[in-house]
Structure 1
Amino acid sequence: MTTGYVVGTDSVTGGMAEVGLTDATTVAWDMSAGVDFTVTLAGNRTLGNPTNTTVGKKGRIRVVQDATGSRTLALSSNLKTATGSTITLSTAAAAVDFLDYDCVSSSFIRIALSKDWK
């Protein structure tokens, strides 16, 4: 902290806004771009390993099914779940799931799925 420096609530709130990820065959995400992210899937996709990882960083990715639904999301090698490396998303059109992440190391990002939010 720098003496005499004040962080305004607008700076903090702006830093917490979801960062949109671009839907692509492999969804790329830059961990330095924000804390929380969102992507709408328009096909079966893979969530890529993040760039600019920060050990100890935690956040979430809101994953939305498009109007078709039944989209899948595979995880890249550095993304780990309690049961291995696969997740099963909600399949309804416009379904919303959340992936909570915890960056343990640059090659171990813990992922937990929370499904079917309304």
Structure 2
Amino acid sequence: MVTDLIKIPCVRNLVFRDHLQSHPESIVNITLHNVIVTHKQHDGNYKELWIFYTNIDAIQPKFPMKNEFRSQLTPSLSLSSTYTIIVRLKTLETCYFDIPVLDEAIKLAESLDALIANT
């Protein structure tokens, strides 16, 4: 089933970065058809960015590792304060998700990768 591809439906307290600025305390929601990024604007209002999987060109996780063997790394082990997922869009734009928890970052990257491959 397609719903089995979503390993984590929501990630909170991440930093969303685009080509213009950085948005701390953002939320990413994963649905069957798109990624919904919610972030607080400077005026206090919330803004949503909907990214359809068909518009995503590539997902590139950037997780700093002490060695090349990620399978030896336990999700509770913290090597860095943030783990970045780079989302490259077909419009040539790039978005960044800076996630403080490794387990959430791995699950989000795997979910996005599987959902993009399924479209």
TM-score range, shorter chain: under 0.3
> Which TM-score applies when normalising by structure 1?
0.24
Q: Which has the higher contact order (CA 8 A, sep 6+)?
A: 2
Q: Which structure has the highest helix share of the two?
A: 2
Q: Whose Rg is larger?
A: 1
> Which TM-score applies when normalising by structure 2?
0.24
